[in-house]
Structure 1
Amino acid sequence: MRTLYFNLLLLCAAVFVKGLTDEQKERIKKFHMECSAESHVNPEMIAKARKGEFTEDPSFMKHLFCFAKKAGLQNDAGEIQVDVLRAKLGAELKDDAATDKLISMCAIQKETPEKTAFDSVKCYYENTPTHISLTS
């Protein structure tokens, strides 16, 4: 499997994972595989997103929303779970002000759950200096 890049969510986007256990990394890989099967996303879109090229393709957006749900960042209705997001970001950033700023910039509800996931992941990617890599 290719290297997977996640920034908070990555989250889908995105998830900050520097301190993740092997078990948590395996769950992330499992989520990715399950969401890929469900969304039928073109692997090239994921490869492009790793490089910062985000395509507003319905299957890619569906993939990101699926991942966000499995990670607990959005509920089934597509609502952003700010407390979960704050806990995950806060654990990584270790700076409450930076965490709150990133959430206020990127965790914005959109017209659809998929658009919310897509825009959030893109925003996190563009506004975080480090992009996390998981190798499988």
Structure 2
Amino acid sequence: MTPFLFLCVVMAVAGLDAHNVQLSQSQKDKVHQYTTQCIKESGVKPDVIAEAKKGHFADDEALKKFTLCFFQKSGIVDSTGKLNVEAALAKLPPGVNKADAGKLLEECKKKTGKDAADMAFEVFKCYSRGTKQHVLV
């Protein structure tokens, strides 16, 4: 599988000192494939995903299921929603500061939830709010 930043499709809270990194075409293709599959599986509405991209995280069960689905297909969380920091770091595209990302992921790994989808969603929000590097899909 081609490496790509975890949940790069629903990334990012804009930051003043943020900078962007690009995905390769094959990475973009994987993101599109996983997004399509997970939208079908979760039933999330595309406008909810669009809002999440802007940093507006609805307390939406379908969005949580989408997040878990995408993370599982990406190989960065297990079936319980537990984050695998090493796997996430290995999938970061060039241009992302892995030392900073590792620190943030270790903090986000501590997030909990009522179930796997909730836990994956909490990890996602934590990383999205804490990163200054955003992926352009």
TM-score bracket relative to the smaller structure: 0.7 to 0.9
2: CA distance, partners of 1:33 / 1:90: 21
Please tell me the root mean square deviation across aligned C-alpha atoms, in Å.
2.6
Stretches (4+) displaced over 6 A: none
CA shift for structure 1 position 83 = 1.5
Letter in 2 for 1:37: K
1:22-37 matches, within 5 Å, as 22-37=25-40
- Assess, with a 3 A threshold, how the Cα gap between structure 1 residues 85 and 11 changes in structure 2: closer, same or farther: farther
2:47 aligned with 1:49: no
CA shift for structure 1 position 45 = 0.9
2: CA distance, partners of 1:12 / 1:51: 8
- Counterpart of 2:73 in structure 1 is 70
- Assess, with a 3 A threshold, how the Cα gap between structure 1 residues 7 and 86 changes in structure 2: closer, same or farther: closer
Gaps in structure 2 of 5+ consecutive residues: 13-19
- Assess, with a 3 A threshold, how the Cα gap between structure 1 residues 89 and 64 changes in structure 2: closer, same or farther: same
Provide the identity percentage: 30
Gaps in structure 1 of 5+ consecutive residues: 1-5
- Assess, with a 3 A threshold, how the Cα gap between structure 1 residues 119 and 12 changes in structure 2: closer, same or farther: farther
- Counterpart of 2:121 in structure 1 is 118
CA shift for structure 1 position 24 = 1.8
- Assess, with a 3 A threshold, how the Cα gap between structure 1 residues 130 and 121 changes in structure 2: closer, same or farther: same
- Counterpart of 2:107 in structure 1 is 105
TM norm structure 1: 0.77
Letter in 2 for 1:9: L
